[in-house]
Amino acid sequence: MAQKHLIEIDGVPINAELEVQQDGDSRVRLAPDMDWQTVELLHIRAGLHVVMVDNVPIELYIERNASSIEVTIGSRKYQIRSGLTRLTDRGSTKPSNMVDGLAIVRASMTGAVLEIRVGLGEQVEAGEVLVVVESMKMNNELRAPVAGVVKRIVEGLDSQLEEGEEVVAILPTETPQESS
């Protein structure tokens, strides 16, 4: 099942679809009338990535800031905002479940911890990337569902996570409403 995301590239909104197939390959298309393209994102080192699009390598430098991602391809820079809307049959944009007053961020699928971007006791904003998990050749950003303070966090890079496993627990600065 394809996940639908609204992203913005240099101020232009784009309805992108991402599909992870049973063999682990990923496909993407940037408009409903476009053809699907096979993609693989390879992490080289901090900031440097190679994306394979239909087996054609494209070198990217990715820099994240508070509200967007700056992607440099050759000499051209693009400002990308994502997470504006996420439509999927598998999930929702509701905050993670609350347990004992903590907002729990769980692994959405089995994978390995690639990056830990926050530390214990740090103040985080809603939507901030906390941890990046590599799963099925894709990097998945786990974001804070609420603003608050990190009370628990997974230990160690390359830690293996199971689907549904707690990754981060946040004490909200404001108590979110329980969803029904």
How sure is the predictor about 120, in pLDDT bands with cuts at 50, 70 and 90? Answer: very high
Confidence (pLDDT) at 169:
94
Taking the whole predicted model, whether its pTM rises above 0.85 is answered as: no
Answer yes or no: are the C-beta atoms of 50 and 57 closer than 8 Å.
Answer: yes
Answer yes or no: are the C-beta atoms of 58 and 48 closer than 8 Å.
Answer: no
* CA 179/CA 36 separation, integer angstroms: 35
- Going from the C-alpha of 106 to that of each of 3, 20, 110, 142, the distances in angstroms are 18, 19, 11, 8
Please name the residue that has the structure tokens 């099942």.
Answer: 1
Pick from 12, 168, 141: which is nearest to 79 by CA?
Answer: 12
Pick from 78, 167, 151, 53: which is nearest to 114 by CA?
Answer: 167
In sequence order, the 6+-apart residues with CB closer than 8 A to the CB of 61 are 47, 48, 49, 71, 72
The mean pLDDT of 19-39, rounded to a whole number, is 80
Q: What stretch of H or E contains 52?
A: strand 48-53
* Residue 154 clears pLDDT 60, i.e. is over it: yes
| Percent of the chain at pLDDT exceeding 70 | 84
Q: How many helices (H) and strands (E) does the chain have?
A: 0, 17
- Going from the C-alpha of 111 to that of each of 36, 105, 140, the distances in angstroms are 25, 15, 9
List of domains in the chain: 3-87 (3.30.700.30), 98-172 (2.40.50.100)
